[in-house]
Amino acid sequence: MPTNAPSRAIRSDGTRYDVVGIGNSLVDVIAQADDSFIHREALTKGSMTLIDTDRALHLYKALGSAVEMSGGSAANTVCGVSSFGGRAAYIGKVSADDLGEVFGHDLRAVGVHFAPGEHMDGMPTGRCIIVVTPDAQRTMNTYLGVSSYLCPTDVDERVVAVGRVLYMEGYLFDRDDAKQAFRHAAQVAHRAGRQVSLTLSDSFCVDRHRDDFRALVEDEVDILFGNEHELMSLYELDSFEAAVAAVRRDSALAVITRGPQGAAIITADEIVDVAAEEVGHVLDTTGAGDLFAAGFLFGLTNGYSLAECGRLGSIAAAEVISHVGPRPLVELRTLIPWG
């Protein structure tokens, strides 16, 4: 049942949402497989690869029985924000098929306002075939479908203008239309006096679009999310310290996760180190970065200190990697360590 229904009343700063996410709207198709499958299908473990229809059909056929649940990086993040008790909205494109219905339901069910883009005939809802290996790593194969056709007119400006932070996933950069939609959304947000954040999504994605990412981080991004590999790839630097120095010049705030080492929150003045939470048994790392961002953004938009924001990020990431699936199974608000 929709247990999360935060008030949508307009706050004193004119906002209705803490976080407005824009991303690829994907339903995850999750199947277990062993390392020999990864090898046989020439997959790169832990990465996200874009695939076409034929490859999607082939991989799906080669895999064992699967479970379907809503995913999408930014969508996972806004669900996490809502689960903490924050106010969240999501903009993305699905089709009028079963999977599109599932995707919309799962957002609304946790109290996220869903502003879908326009349907396109004959273009199915995107899906991400996730192969989970016994080491809990996930290897993602994304058939974008209609999701990547998000264009500027799909961005509901009224929604973006009333969100404290706009949150965009780098994966959207894989199509020009969507890239333009992002620039447009960022401008709308800035004109309304809101903050703009971006997550780099994965190192191969950064590789594919390094120049565009760099320009954006310099010009439009107030808060940058990513992991250490993505950050080093962005600046083509071999050392984390050098990459930290570089991002300090470009972005007011950077939130960089470091796997079991936790995370670093980087501003012009300080670096706040965040420890990773203890996890009994890591079952599936899908969604770890998305949920770290959720905790951080919930904290940031609700007046917590940077160290507290980081702690909330770690708590949310720890919850999501302890089970299969990219979204929290418990209400994250119940895990906030201080009342």
Residues at the interface with a copy of itself (CB under 8 A): 1-3, 31-34, 37, 60-70, 79, 97-99, 102, 105-106, 108-110, 124-125, 325, 327, 329
CA 197/CA 301 separation, integer angstroms: 12
Q: What's the CA gap between 110 and 6, in Å, rounded?
A: 10
Q: Looking at beta carbons only, is 61 or 337 nearer to a copy of itself?
A: 61
Nearer to a copy of itself, 102 or 123 (CB): 102
For the chain, report the end-to-end CA distance as a whole number of angstroms.
Answer: 24
Least gap, CB of 283 to a copy of itself (angstroms): 12
Contact 28, 326 (CB under 8 A): yes
Cβ at position 95, least distance to a copy of itself in Å: 10
Nearer residue to a copy of itself within complex by CB, 245 or 329: 329
Q: Residue 331 burial by CB count (10 A; 0-12/13-18/19+): exposed, middle or buried?
A: middle
Minimum CB separation of residue 176 from a copy of itself in Å reads 28
Of 142 and 203, the one with the shorter C-beta distance to a copy of itself is 142
Residue 253, both tokens: 């705030």
Q: What is the dihedral of CA 219, 224, 227, 233, to 10 degrees?
A: 0
Measured in degrees and rounded to the nearest 5, phi and psi for residue 172 equal -60, -20
42 exposed, middle or buried (CB, 10 Å; 0-12, 13-18, 19+)? exposed
Nearest distance, CB of residue 323 and a copy of itself, angstroms: 10
Nearer to a copy of itself, 216 or 324 (CB): 324
CB of 69 to a copy of itself, least distance (A): 5
- In whole angstroms, what is the distance from residue 28 CA to residue 166 CA? 24
CB of 55 to a copy of itself, least distance (A): 16
> Closest CB to a copy of itself among 64 and 339?
64
The nearer residue to a copy of itself, 94 or 255, going by C-beta atoms, is 94
Smallest gap, in angstroms, from Cβ of residue 89 to a copy of itself?
Answer: 16
Helices 73-83 + 98-109 axis angle, to 10: 30
Geometric angle at alpha carbon 320, from 26 and 338, rounded to 5°: 130
Helices (H), 84-161: 98-109, 157-161
Place of tokens 């064992």: 64
Nearer to a copy of itself, 67 or 245 (CB): 67
Partners of 140 in the beta sheet? 48, 130
Contact in structure between 167 and 76 (CB atoms under 8 Å): no
Shortest distance in whole angstroms from residue 174 CB to a copy of itself: 23
Cα gap 194→190, rounded to integer Å? 5
